[in-house]
Structure formats: C-alpha cells, structure tokens
Structure 1
Amino acid sequence: MVTAMRQSRFEGTARYLWAKGWKLLLPGAVAIFVMELLIYLMPALGLGTAEQGVSTVFWYVSVCALILMYRAANVDARFLITRLTPRPSVYAGVVLEILTFTALGALLAAAVTLAETGLVAALSGLAPGRYSVSMWDLLGQARATATGEVVGFLVPYTGRFFLSTVEYCCFYYLYFCLLRRWKVQTLAVTIGVPVLMVVLVVVPAVNGVFDQIASMSEQELWQSMPVLMNLLRFMEEAVRFMIERWPVIRAVAAVACLALSYPVMAGTPQPK
C-alpha cells in the first residue's frame, strides 16, 4: 500500500496543491480583513458611518476558487505531469483541493466576518452614534443586530456556501480543462451559441409575437387572452419547477462535470 502510494505520487501532489492554494487563500483573507478594518475605522475620523452594517467576505473565496481551478487545469497540471506524476494522481489531488480549500475558505471567511462583527460591536460601545451591528440575511428578509444573531446567520450560510462553491469549482475545472485542450472550440461554443440563440431564436420570436399582436383586432385580442394566460401559467410552473429542483439539478451537473473533466485532462497533450 505504501509502495503504491509512493509510485502514484499522490502525497506529493497533495502537498504541492496545498502549498499553492494556501499561499493564495491566507494572504487574501488577511488583505480583506485589513481593508475592512480601514473601512470600519473611517467613521472614527469623521469620514462616514458604519450604519451600513457588517458585510460578509465570502465573495473573496469564490474569486480564489476561480483562480485555483484555472491554475489546477493549466499551470499545476503542466508542472505535475511533466514531472511524471500519473494523471489519476493529479486528478485526485484536484478533487482533494476542491473539497479542502472550499471548506477552509468558507470557515476562514466566516471567521473574518465574525472578527469584523466583534470589532463593530466593540466600537458601537465606544461610539454608538457612529457604529452599529447590522447584517441582513441572503434574501434580505431578516436582520441581525447582535453578535449572536450574526452567528445564527453565518452557521447555515457557511454550509450552503461550501456546497455551492464545490459545485462551481467542478464547473470551473471542466471549463478550464476544455479551454486548455480546445481553446478555439470552447470559446466559440461559449460565446457563439448564446449569441446565435439570441439572434436566430429570441429576437425573431419576440418580433413575431409583437407583430402578431399589432395585426390583431380588439375582438381577436380578447379571444386570444385564454391562450396567453395558459402560456403565462405554463411559464410560471416551469420557473417554479426549476427553482424547486435547482439544487438537485446543480448537484447532478457538478458531479457530471467533475467526471467529464478527467478524460479531458488526461487526454490533453503535455509540453515536453
């Protein structure tokens, strides 16, 4: 077992990806915290107010995930494979990187957000007219005005963010693998297909509907109302179905993307 692990070079691959990812994730968190600290200290100088509330910093983890997946599909894969690392080990290392760094990034972002909340809570005791703890939930329907309530918001949000970021990492990795192997074709499909859909399908359909409505008499419009109402009802049900099933659809798509990324990565010719 130990010999097989050494021959697969998985341990070295994991260490390499860990070092690369951690060097991106940790300095980013420190930089974000320092930037937010300066923003929160501005009201003490009379340059504004902190009444806008405590902001989360999970967005920076999403940016780091995008960068990590780009590097995993390009620079990291080239470096590891040209040093005779087996492709299954490279792929397994990327999967491990997705899981570990998404979890660490989510926890780190939650910790930075809690640190900011504690800072604002402490400053609100010194200058209540300038500082106040205020955080809205993701849908903007509930507001937290105390540190405990912020923690109550962050606990479920961190879990949801972890799952969604893992799914997006799977999408990113497949896309960058495709982009590395078939750059022109991937860009053509990514840009060309939406443009063609809009030009050849959406625009003519919308123009046709408006032309048809403009040519109708008032009586014909009233007669067509049941058809329009049925169409709107169908569209509403379709949207509701997509919203209700969207987490499952996205999870299945993420698993499929992660599975498809291996043959694309393994079949990409590597430079000598």
Structure 2
Amino acid sequence: MDDPHIPAQSQDSMPAHEHKMDPAPDYEPRHPGSGKLKGKVALVTGGDSGIGRAVSVLFAREGAKVAIAYLEESKDAEETKRLVEAEGGECLLIEGDLGGKAHCEQTVKQVVDTFGQLDVLINNGAQQWIDEDFAELDEEKIERMIASNIKAYMFTTQAALPHLKEGAAIVNTSSVNAFAGMGSLITYSMTRGASLALTRSLASNLADRGIRVNAVAPGPIWTPFIPGTMPAEKVEDFGSGTPMGRAGQPWEVATAFLFLASSDGNYYTGQTLHPNGGMVVGA
C-alpha cells in the first residue's frame, strides 16, 4: 500500500489515534529479519502508532525486545504490542507523560528492571499543532510542545545514559521542517530543529564512549499527526506535492531507524537520514 488515496478527515485530539485513520498507515516490514538487533533491548518513545509502531515491529522482526512509551493512546499501544509479539518479540508498554523528568527516569527504570539492559533509545514521541497566527501563539501549547518534543528527549536520554554501553545507539526523530521550515508549523519546526541540534551535539559528546547518536528527518508521512493537526480538507491527498507524488508510509521510515540503530550504521554519528519523497534540503 505505497500510494493509497487519502480522503478528507480529521481528529480532535493530539496525539491522534491510528485506529481511526482511513486508510490505515502501512507499518508492515517488507523483508525477513536477519537478526540485526538480536539480543538487544530498545526503548521506543511514541511507539504506539505511526513511525513508532513501524519501528517497534521492525525491531522485533530483527530480534530486539521492545519497550514502548506512550502518552495515553492505550488502544493503539495494545495493538502495537500484539504486532511485536506476533513477530516473536517481547514487548513492555509504559503509559505516561515523558515531558516530566521523573516519568522519564521511571520509564527507563522499568525497561532495565524488566529486560536487564538497554541498548537502543529511539526518541520519537512528539506533538504538533498548526500555528495559524504567530502573533497569537498559545502559550500553553508552546509549553506542551517543548515538553514533549525537547524536554522528553533530553530527560529520557539522561536517564538512559547510565545503562548504555559501548556500541549503543540513540536515534532522534527530527523533521524535514527543521531544514526547510514551515510557515504553518513554526513551533513544531523549532522543536524539530532542537532535536537536530541535540543529535549533533550529543554525538560529539558521547563519541569517546562508543555511543552513536543520529537522527531521522521524515518528510510528509501518513501518521496520526496528520488528521490530528490539519483541517480535514487539507488532509485529502496529503503528500501529493512531493517529487514522488505521495505521502510516505511509516514502514518506509522505520528502515532508516534500523540502519542507524544496528551495526549497519557503525560509522554514522551526528548524521541525519532524510526519508522525504525527494524533497531536497540542506543536510
């Protein structure tokens, strides 16, 4: 399902819910696993749906045990857990707001207490809203987005670092908007720029410990962000303006995370991969 028609639709929630989307996002891995993450434990924030679901399922196919942190979308999270287990993997669900340091610390503790280790951290959970008028940006929404998209990445990484050994990998989700900007997503673009800067700076800081830090900057991908953010009429045929003429699917982004999390990406740190349908941006 690489090029489905996307009809007009919207949801009055952020994060929105994958099980309400039409068509359903395509998370399914395309290739048999080869053990690239065998014996590894991965924590995927925002792993209940969208890109996070696709990453979780792909990681399980490649042999990882997966912990999924999510805000409150329990129905989507339970379905992702089922999909991970269908791949033969073990899955731990952890609900709560990672915008606070205490919950980040408790989340990492649960992962280590359950699986005994932590090898891969995927900082992916985030929120997004349309900024209709920059002069009238809502302070509460700005604070919520900063907590979700910046603080959570920093606090979860802080909590994880004592458990990450040489050879561990951290992959942060950024966005094409961190490079190209988006007039209707000013606050979101700002936070994704922050995750990019965090990636590059932390990569330099942790290089002597043998911990790699990279980023993935997706373009327009069919995830719950879209009906949860955009007016229904703008959702129709979302992504058709890219050079490839369509939105990307979550499975097409998950492969970038796998490359950076596995030994395939051993000589990559401080770098960004761009699954964006052909949009040319500064690297």
TM-score norm. by structure 2 comes to: 0.28
**Higher helix residue share:** 1
Larger Rg: 1
Q: TM-score, normalised by structure 1?
A: 0.29
Compare the two structures and name the one with the higher strand fraction.
2
